[in-house]
Structure formats: structure tokens, C-alpha cells
Amino acid sequence: MIGDFVVKGKYVGAEVDRVDAIGKVTGETKYADDLRLPNMHYGKILFSPYPRARVLHIDTRSAEALHGVRKIITAKDISGNNLYGYEIHHHPLLVGEGQETRFVGDSIALVVAETPEAADQALENIEVDYEVLTPLTSPREAKAEGAYQIHPGSQGNICCRPELIHGDIAAGFKNSEVIVEHTYFTSRQEQAFLETESGVAYVDDSGMLHIFSSLQDPYDVLEDVCYALGIPKSRIHVKGTIVGGAFGGKLITTIEVHLAAMVYLARVPVKIVLDREESFIFHPKRHPDEIHVKVGSTRDGKIQALEAEVLSDAGPYSGRTPEVLGLTVSALVGPYGIPSVHLTGQAIYTNNLDSGAMRGFGAPQAAVARESILDKLAGTLEMDPLELRQKNFLKPGQETLSPVLGDSPVSLELLKDQILEKMGPLPEVSPEQNKRVGRGFCFDMPVFDVSAIPVLGKSGVGIAVEIFSDASACVYAGGTELGQGITTVLAQIAAEELGLPINKVFVEMSDTWTCPRAGRTSASRLTYVLGNALLLATEKIRNTLLSRAAKMLEVSKDELILENGKIKAKGSPSKGVGLQEVATVCSNEGLKLREEGWFKYPEDRYMYGHTFMASAADVVVDLVTGEIKILKLVNIHDSGKVINPILAKGQLYGGSLQALGYALTENLIVEEGKLITPSFSEYLIPTAMDIPEEFVADAVETPYPTGPYGAKGLAEHALNSTTPAILNAISNAVDIDLTTIPVYPEHILEAIRAKETDHQ
């Protein structure tokens, strides 16, 4: 383990206030849209109105003649490759004449103007002639024989096709005495971050391009800008601003390449901020999936075989889809020991909105199908759903089937006991009220990235720490503060290891000039990977400081500790020296007080480590109106060492509320490739009125062998397990199968009527 397991240090394990709290609650924090530059102009993007169309001609003369318009940019102006994209560069920066659009988020032209009003008018004045073509708007249609290829060479429009096989599936079903199967449909979910895509950029007098933007991976932006525009990486500086939410929607490059093109070609500073409808159209969403699941067991509930096929809508570009679908397929196994599995997935290119990363990264879809079929199996066996799960829990020492490291202690029984204690007895309602109460459970084995294998040809995570002569310190981390609190966690670790007050630690993040490469901010990874890298870096600085102090105090270095801004001899508090004095001496003598820590998981096997989680929900359903009310919702997460309990609970509550929306309200509707729900008036996310009457989030701490102080990832995990718990509670209340999310009251009433008709 890197770092000793700490029950509770001064900062690690303590409920430390967020280091960025005051600026955010007072409004002093500056987001991208708050930035102002001298002579700043405003950028706008002309998007295609059609999901599939050939661009015949673009006439910009009327737009260029408008007062205040600085530059209109089309594909013919781009000197680079005019392409970008994660792993596969096939997303055009601008669709040119003679080329086809692939979805309504494709860009046709860019406008740079002195005012937002002039930019808007210029957009209206650009005249584009299109040959409107028939789009492919369903995966089944797109994969059919003879369908046109959205990307030449993509036979059957297949983006990716992951598979997980273990054991003998035919023998598994032969040994099964009960077999159930069903098909489940999950919806397209919008990240719904408060801050839309935004950024400012400029070119300085030396020709250096500076981009300040709301993003999740500054180095990925660096790669895309270089490739699309042909600008050397050495001439590009990317700085991530404070982010007002992302949840995966800003994981791939969004407006940054467009912004760079505007600045580089117009030669003026430019700001671009998407409005809500543009944002809804532009960034990738959670994949809508069709999942057919078949499971077989003995009559006493021992599962023998699991088979599943996932059909996923990739949208027009590859992006993160191969990783997401790979996780969906592997997550179908869950925290269960199953002798034989055969799981396959297909992601198909369509002309719908783009699909990609969203909190949970494909695992929530899998959990919906897996946990729903388990309740269906329990019903067929006339067995308690919790008993069925418990019979099939992974046991300590049992190998996981999913492609994860498998080194997390199995805590499922502990989680089961905790969830039952927190839930208590099932609430009661009077039968004459025409209401029914139900309880549902979900157990999950969520994952987090451990930086073990190359992503984009790179692996490993770096961080730098510098301590100054005044005994203040700065941490330089390439990840991004999205609101999850990673700046606070890193400040806690640095303060703990260097013996500093936390207000003497500053954390700088997401800057390609100052911060070592740390990869993406996603996959619940930063506490684990950056925490480990930070421990390695602070260890080097500690050695320097303690070695110099040992000479000053004429004692062995091993006898010294760093504490409260001082270096003291163990057992002799009066014998010590101030850290500032030692740091000053080190600085004057030219000793190195800036160190880098580089962490890479020691094995090149799998991308993910894992943990365990349990969720349970009590709901009441009105049989007359179909209204669903959540009475109680409990999430228990095995977090390893919890670095900051307040932040951890915030993540569990937040993920759970997003999952509530996924279950009951959120459905981004796309018809014939066009968005039908372009704002929060039509796309409904949970509000304060939807919070359960009793809402509990808690953690158990089983140390992770290689985590910093034993910590694990947790940020996304409540989203995985909450939705199935709610769905199973509804099914338990009214004794119906739910196959599609979100579940609306009318769906409940239709299912009840259908059931009554079947019984007549």
C-alpha cells in the first residue's frame, strides 16, 4: 500500500471544509464566461439543421458585410487536418462543401464578431444550400444489410463489438432448472451541467496560442488542436478553468478546437459560450441501450449461466463509446459469482445525437438490466430478492469475472447488514388508500481507473509539489476540479504529509504549462491516482526537509516528525525548528524543493480497480394516478479510506439524485435525428421537491491495498446502483415488470391495466 492506512489524521479522514467554498458561495470564483480580455470578440458556431445532408454551397458574403463582423470561417480556411476526436480523428471541425453532415451538432461555419448581437446576426445571414438526405436514426436500421456507411469502411456501421466469455454457456443453461429472459431499454440521458461549454482564447505577441476553457482533460484538447489546425504542441497552452459541472459531457474536446480556429484565423481574442439548446445538441450523452438478458439457475437460486446482448446507439462518432460499451458488457456480471457467462455488445453509428461518457460510464445501463432480471428470477423462484442475491455474492478469494484487478476485499455481507439496518421495517399504508408500498435492492461492483494501461498511448499520472521559503506549498496537478472536491482532497494530503496548516497549501490544476500530465478527469480516478502520485512527491520533499533539519538539530533524521509547521524530535517537543526556517535554509543552499511524483499501477493487466456498493429504496405507488413517491433511499458505499467524509457524502447524494432522474424523469427525446427536448422546460431533472423523505448516504471502510491511505474511487458509483433499487421497489409495490426507463405514472397505469386484462 502506498501511504499508511490512517484511521484519522489531522486532515486525512477529517471533515475539512472545501478550499474553494468561499469563492463559490460569494461569487468571487471566475468561470470561463467571467473572463474578459482586451479587444475581446465573440464567437458563434453555425450548426447543421439536418442530421444528414450534403453541403452544396456556403455563401458568407452577406454575413461578412455586416458591421462588427471580424471573420467568417469555413472548412476551406482550415490549413490543418480539419479533424479531431478521441483515438479516431474522424470528427470534422467544419463540414465543407461537397461533404455530408452526420448529425445536427456538426459545424458548418464559425463567426467572429465584436458583439454577441453581431455574431448572432451573422449566423442568420450565412446562406447554406443543402441536399437533404435520409438519416439513419436507429441502431437496427443502421446495422441492416445495405444501409449506407456513416463512416466509409465501417461495415454494418459497427463502432465496436466487445465480448466477455467465461465457462461453458450451453452447459450452464443445461444445468439450470429455471430460466428467465427479458429485454430492457435505457434512455438517452443529458449531463445537465449548470455551466454550458465556454472558453476564451488569444494569441500572444510571440505567437503562442492560449486557451482557457471549461474542460475535463487539457492534454486531450492540446492533442486535438494540434491535429485539427496543424499548430505545433509547443505553441499551444491549455488552461482548464473552474468547471461548473461536467459529468462526462466535457471529457472529449468540445468547443476548444473551434475557439482555437477563430482566434488563430481572426487574430483577435475570442470568447465563445454555447446557449442551452446548442449545448444539448453538441456534446455526447449517455448511450441509449437495448439489453436482452437471459439467466438460468437451480431451483434453490444458484445462478448457473448469464447471457446478454447489448445494442447501443453510438451516434455519429466513436469518441468514448468503445470504453463505455466495454464497461457496460463487463458490468453485466456485477458482484456475483456465475460459472458461465457469454456477454456481447454492439455499438452502431447513427445520425442521432452523439453518445459518449456520462457519470457511471456505461455501468448504470448494465445495472438496470442485471438487477431487474434478478428480481424477475426471484419472482419465478418465489424467493426473496435479497436472499437470491446473497446466495450468489462473490465470496472472499473468489475470482471476479469482469476484467478488473480483483484486489478489493469483498465486503458484500457487510454492506447487506448495513443496508438492512439503515432501511429498518417496511412502511405501511392503509389498503383503502389505493396505494401500495414496495422495497427494492441493488448490489453493485463499481470500478475506478487505476492508470494501469495506456490510454491514447499514455499511462501513468504525474503531480508536482513545491514548498517555498515561507513554508507555504503549491500542488500542481493535471486533473480538473469539476466540483467534486479534488482540490480539497489534494490539499488535505499535502498538508498531512508536510505538516502544514491546510490554508498554507494551494492547489493549481489543469494547466499544460505548469502541471504534469495526469490524463482525464473521469472514471472516479483522481483521489486514487493523484493521491498516490502526491504521496510519492511529498515523500521526496519530506526527505529533503528532514535531512536538513537533522543537521540543524544534530539528531538522526529518523527521530524527526513534521507537524503543525514545525520539525520536532519525537518524544522531545521542545527540541525542534520551524518549517519556515528549514525551508529558507534549503532555498538559500539551493536544495531542491520542487518534486514530481509519478504513479503507475505496477501491473499492466486491466484499466480498473473495483469496490462494492449497495442501495435500497422504499416507494409508495398510487394505483389510481400512477404517482410514484420515494419514501426512503439509502446508499452504502465501500470507500476504502474516506479522505473527506463531507465530500464523500456529497458525491453519494449527488449521484443518487441523478440516478433518480434517470429512473423517473429524464429522457432526451430525439426523433428522426432532431432534438425534441431542447431545454429544461421539456427535459426534466430532479428538483428539491423530488428528494426522498428519508435520504441516507454512508460508507464502510475496507482499505484498498494500493490506495492512498487505503482509499478507493467513489464519485460516480451511487448513480450505478440507485436506479435499479428504485425500479425494483416500484415493481415490488405493484407486481409488474418494468422494462423501460424513465418510468412515468402513465407507464404504471398501462402496466396495471394490462395485468388486469391478462387476468380476466
Report the percent of the chain where pLDDT is more than 90: 89
Confidence of residue 3 (pLDDT cuts 50, 70, 90): very low
How far apart, in Å, do the first and last CA atoms of the chain sit?
63
From CA 725, how far away is CA 316, in angstroms rounded?
32
Q: Three-class SS of residue 476?
A: strand
Segment 339-344 mean pLDDT: 98
Structure confidence by residue, pLDDT tens digits, 65-114: 999 999 999 999 999 999 999 989 999 999 999 999 999 999 999 999 99
Which of 623, 634, 629, 624 is CA-nearest to residue 718? 634
Does residue 270 sit in the same domain as residue 307? no
355 and 501 part of one domain: no
Listed residues 252, 282, 312: the one ending a domain: 282
* Domain shared by 583 and 707, yes or no: no
Longest dimension (CA), the chain: 93
Over residues 525-557, the pLDDT tens digits come to 899 999 999 999 999 999 999 999 999 999 999
Average pLDDT over residues 127-141: 98
- Alpha-carbon dihedral angle through residues 162, 168, 169, 170, given to the nearest 10 degrees: 140
What confidence score (pLDDT) does residue 682 get?
A: 96
| Selection from 170, 173, 177 nearest residue 298 by Cα | 177
pLDDT of residue 518: 87
User: Strand 127-132 and strand 572-578: pairing?
Assistant: unpaired
10 is a domain residue: no
C-alpha cell at 456: 491514447
pLDDT at 9 over 90: no
Contact by Cβ (8 Å): 508, 515: yes
Give domain status of residue 554, yes or no: yes
Shared-domain flag, residues 572 and 463: yes
At which of 540, 574, 599 does a domain end?
A: 599
Helix, strand, coil share of the chain (percent; to 5) = 30, 25, 40
The domain of 592 spans 21-29+451-599
Q: Answer for the pair 331, 366: CB distance below 8 angstroms, yes or no.
A: yes
**pLDDT of 611 strictly over 90:** yes
Alpha helix ranges (H) inside 126-217:
139-143, 169-174
Q: Measured between alpha carbons, how far is 517 from 496 in angstroms, rounded to an integer? A: 24
Grid cell locating 560: 524527526
Q: Across residues 616-634, what is the average pLDDT?
A: 96
Q: What CATH number is attached to the domain comprising 637?
A: 3.30.365.10
Q: Determine phi and psi for 668, rounding to 5 degrees.
A: -80, 105
Please indicate, yes or no, whether residues 522 and 663 belong to a single structural domain of this protein: no
Q: What is the mean pLDDT of residues 138-161?
A: 96
- Give the DSSP per-residue string, 334-347: TTB--SEEEEEEEE
Q: Which of 5-14, 308-317, 519-528 has the lowest mean pLDDT?
A: 5-14
Rounded to the nearest integer, the mean pLDDT of the chain is 94
Residue 455 has pLDDT above 70, yes or no: no
| Domain co-membership, 580 together with 637 | no
Is there a single domain that holds both residue 586 and residue 559? Answer: yes
pLDDT at residue 1, as a whole number: 33
Q: What is the pLDDT of residue 760?
A: 64
The rounded radius of gyration (Å) of the Cα atoms in the chain is 27
Kindly state whether residues 120 and 247 are assigned to the same domain: yes
- Give the range with max mean pLDDT: 151-155, 283-287, 714-718: 283-287
Which CATH number belongs to the domain containing residue 200 in this structure?
3.90.1170.50
- What CA–CA distance (Å, rounded) separates 511 from 242? 12
Residues 276 and 289 both lie in one domain: no
Is pLDDT at 304 greater than 80 in this prediction?
yes
Residues β-bridged to residue 285: 355
- Whether 142 is in a domain gets the answer no
323 and 293 part of one domain: yes
Backbone angles phi, psi at 232, to 5 degrees: -60, 145
Q: Phi, psi at residue 588, to the nearest 5°?
A: -65, -30
Instruction: Indicate whether 105 and 233 sit together in one domain.
Output: yes
181 part of a folded domain: no
Range 164-174 average pLDDT: 97
Reported confidence tier of residue 452, pLDDT bands at 50, 70, 90: low
pLDDT at 307: 98
User: Distance (Å, rounded) from C-alpha 570 to C-alpha 549?
Assistant: 13
- Whether 238 maps to a domain, the answer reads yes
pTM: 0.95
How many domains is the chain built from? 3
| 199 found inside a domain | yes
Note whether residue 177 is domain-resident: no
- Percent of the chain past pLDDT 70, that is, above it, reads 97
* Claim to verify: residue 416 and residue 547 sit in the same structural domain: no
Q: What span, in angstroms and rounded, lies between the C-alpha atoms of 228 and 77? A: 12
Instruction: Tell me which residue of 66, 316, 323, 282 sits closest to 191, measured CA to CA.
Output: 282
Identify which has the larger pLDDT, 601 or 265. Answer: 265
Which of the listed residues 539, 565, 599 is the one where a domain comes to its end? 599
> Does residue 581 form part of some domain?
yes
**CB 551, CB 577: distance < 8 Å:** no
CB of 291 within 8 A of CB of 183? Answer: yes
